[in-house]
Amino acid sequence: MDYCGIALLITGSFVPWLYYGFYCSLMPKIFYLCLTIFLGLSSVIVSLWDKFSEPHFRPFRAGVFMSFGLSGVIPGVHWLISHGLTSWIESSIRASFTSLIVMGALYITGGLLYASRIPERFFPGKCDYWFHSHQLFHILVICAAVVHYHGITCMADYRLNSPNAVCPAPDEYLEY
């Protein structure tokens, strides 16, 4: 259930970013939301299936979570290309995109620490109660959630308050 909760947290962190990021682009928003839900369900399955709880599947489980965290790069790059570098002038856009990158880096770092069993690998018996790789993984996931909250707040602020955040006419809404 521990990993299942993390998978749900990662899924939930992508949804508002996709909602605000592709606010005016229906098809990419639906595609990326479906992809996120599929990867989230895959992570939940890997978390709950007894076969994958065996120790030799630890790197595979970590890889699934890291792939899920990295999956945000694809819509992020798409968003950046579709909005162009001129949108980078807006400080809220820069802050939200930077938050997305930092969030992904925190997820990946946590996954790498967990998979490689750092620091307990280097300090056997010293990290049994505190600073175990599993605990560090959770701490980094929580840090990613805080960074995510900041980024989504910036995106929502941009959507609500920026004169540049106007969607095109309704017939252009279905375009990519």
Structural domains of the chain, count:
1
Residue with tokens 């993390």: 6
134 is in an annotated binding site: yes
Q: How many residues does the chain have?
A: 176
Each residue's pLDDT tens digit, 109-129: 988 888 788 888 888 888 778
The pLDDT value given to residue 43: 85
Binding site annotation covers 138? yes
Q: Which residues of the chain have pLDDT under 50?
A: none
- Residues 174 and 176: their CA atoms lie apart, in Å, by 7
Region of 93 on the Ramachandran plot (φ > 0 left; ψ -120 to 50 alpha; else beta): alpha
| Domain limits for position 15 | 2-172
pLDDT value, residue 136: 92
Element (H, E) at 26: helix 26-48
Locate tokens 């770092």: which residue? 109
pTM: 0.74
